[in-house]
Chains A and B, each alone.
Chain A
Amino acid sequence: MDSAEEARFKDFAQAQAAPSRRFAYLLCGDWHFAEDLMQTTLIKIYRTWSRVEAPEAAGNYVRQVLLRTWLDEKRKPWRRREERSEPVPDVADVAPDPAAEAQRMWAKSVVQEGLLKVPPKQRAVLVLRYFDELSVAETAQVLGCSEGNVKSQTARGLATLGKAVGLLKPQGLVSS
């Protein structure tokens, strides 16, 4: 790869790093693992950079590679357990408002406990459609399946998540 192409790749990687890590986090529920996934994904793309025709429109390609990387990692024996303990906070509390804090904690619980109970493909569909706001057709393209399959996976994923969320304890309530 010549230096001009390398510079283009660096710009691309810089632009994709944060969104990719967020996407990975919603899939795996762990920021550290998400960072590993993002870096592995970008390294894979670096190796095939010459085949990326329009880097500025390669968002879905990045999602596709990341998704496969995540599924590959999940199959590794030391990655099979997905239950996560509560992570040590990495950043200062940005929302001193107790109501907003409760909302954030609730959202984290939904991701780290509820979403992790949803099967991987359904989880990927939910994240692609409701976080990345991809259309059914785009989601089908990323997942390499039919649009009908995306719709059915979405319905099943929402139902599974609804059940899992129903089992979560209300956040922000402390018994006295």
Chain B
Amino acid sequence: MNEQELGTVLRTAVLDEPPLDFEPDRLVTRANRAVKRRRAMWVAGGAVAVLVLVVVAIPALSRPGPPAGHGDTLTVAKTDPAPTPPMLEFAHALQGRLNTAVPGAKIDPTQTKALIGFGTPGNPPAGVVAYTAGSTPSKGSRLVFRADAAGTPKLTLAAFCVVELGNYCHDIEPRPDGGVSFITGYAVADIRADGSLLEVSSFDNTTGKWGGADVAVLRALVSDPSLTLTAG
């Protein structure tokens, strides 16, 4: 088939085209509807993006990042800029226990700082205590302690372990005294029978991952009944 024949064949093939059912008005109506639908989808997409930002980013931002640490210094952080006596007492009490996991750990009260917005919904923390440790469990790692005082409303495992809030809990170990310890993220946490929470995390400053602390030691630390933060 040569080029001329092809042209003839193509023109012949469209000779018996069906009648054209075309209304420009109908097309414009369809086009306007398509434009509106597209616009509505953009608006809906934007709204979903904002919603996702609110739901995901805000809880993530409200969770404390491990405090910056260096060397062998231990840092205490709490909700008030000026450490109140119960918080400092609690920090020192923690230090004593912490030495079993991190020998030589020290508290630097001057590094204490407020961590606003850190807590579970409906149960704001009475205080947050953070330690950093340089030598153990690995150089540059740090341990973050968080303690919620006993109070109302009572914190429960179900209320804390909400995956949507970033709290995925596993290795849950209930105790006869009504408390329960579990692992969440890079932390070992303990909810006491009175509804208070003690959580300890181990971070490696270099990798941003688990700092290598012994989970069993951390679990023993958080479930120690003598470590209790009282409000005040």
CA distance A161 to B30 in the complex (A): 38
CA distance A106 to B30 in the complex (A): 37
Chain A residues bordering chain B, tally (CB within 8 A): 42
Q: Which chain B residues lie closer than 8 Å to A26 at the CB level?
A: 10, 13-14
**Shortest CB–CB separation between residue B129 and chain A, in angstroms?**
58
**Shortest CB–CB separation between residue B52 and chain A, in angstroms?**
28
Say yes or no: A104 contacts B34, CB within 8 Å. Answer: no
**A136 interface hit (Cβ, 8 Å):** no
Q: Which chain B residues lie closer than 8 Å to A38 at the CB level?
A: 22
Say yes or no: B24 contacts A130, CB within 8 Å. Answer: no
Q: Which one, B11, B28, B34, contacts A131 given CB within 8 A?
A: B11
Q: Which chain A residues lie closer than 8 Å to B10 at the CB level?
A: 26, 107, 111, 127, 130-131
Q: Which one, B6, B15, B34, contacts A126 given CB within 8 A?
A: B6
- Chain A 42-66 per-residue mask, 1 if CB under 8 angstroms from chain B, else 0: 1100110000000000000000000
Q: Which chain A residues lie closer than 8 Å to B11 at the CB level?
A: 131
Say yes or no: A22 contacts B17, CB within 8 Å. Answer: yes
**B25 interface hit (Cβ, 8 Å):** yes
Say yes or no: B20 contacts A94, CB within 8 Å. Answer: no
**Shortest CB–CB separation between residue A27 and chain B, in angstroms?**
11
Q: Which chain A residues lie closer than 8 Å to B31 at the CB level?
A: 42-43, 46-47
Q: Given A13-B27, A42-B27, A110 and B9 touching (CB < 8 A)? A: yes
Say yes or no: A104 contacts B1, CB within 8 Å. Answer: no
For chain B residues 1-59, which have a beta carbon within 8 Å of chain A? Answer: 1, 3, 6-7, 9-22, 24-25, 27-28, 30-31, 34-35
Q: Given A25-B14, A39-B30, A18 and B7 touching (CB < 8 A)? A: no
Main secondary structure of the interface of B (DSSP, over half): helix
**A33 interface hit (Cβ, 8 Å):** no
CA distance A129 to B6 in the complex (A): 10
**A174 interface hit (Cβ, 8 Å):** no
Say yes or no: B17 contacts A107, CB within 8 Å. Answer: no
CA distance A106 to B1 in the complex (A): 13
Nearest-CB residue, chain A, relative to B3: A130
For chain B residues 105-137, which have a beta carbon within 8 Å of chain A? Answer: none
**Shortest CB–CB separation between residue A166 and chain B, in angstroms?**
9
**A167 interface hit (Cβ, 8 Å):** no
Q: Which chain B residues lie closer than 8 Å to A158 at the CB level?
A: 1, 3, 6
**Shortest CB–CB separation between residue B32 and chain A, in angstroms?**
8
**A6 interface hit (Cβ, 8 Å):** yes
**Shortest CB–CB separation between residue A77 and chain B, in angstroms?**
22
CA distance A25 to B14 in the complex (A): 8
Q: Which chain B residues lie closer than 8 Å to A91 at the CB level?
A: 16-19
Nearest-CB residue, chain B, relative to A11: B24
CA distance A26 to B30 in the complex (A): 25
CA distance A6 to B16 in the complex (A): 32
Say yes or no: A107 contacts B9, CB within 8 Å. Answer: yes
Q: Which chain A residues lie closer than 8 Å to B34 at the CB level?
A: 43, 47
Say yes or no: A17 contacts B20, CB within 8 Å. Answer: yes
Q: Which residues of A contact B (CB under 8 A)?
A: 6, 9-11, 13-14, 17-18, 21-22, 25-26, 31, 35, 38-39, 42-43, 46-47, 89-91, 94-95, 103-104, 106-108, 110-111, 126-127, 129-131, 133, 158, 161-162, 165
The 7 A-B residue pairs whose C-beta atoms are closest, nearest first, are A90-B18, A10-B24, A107-B12, A107-B13, A46-B31, A131-B10, A130-B7
Q: List 7 A-B contacts (CB under 8 A).
A: A17-B20, A21-B17, A26-B14, A31-B18, A39-B30, A133-B7, A158-B1
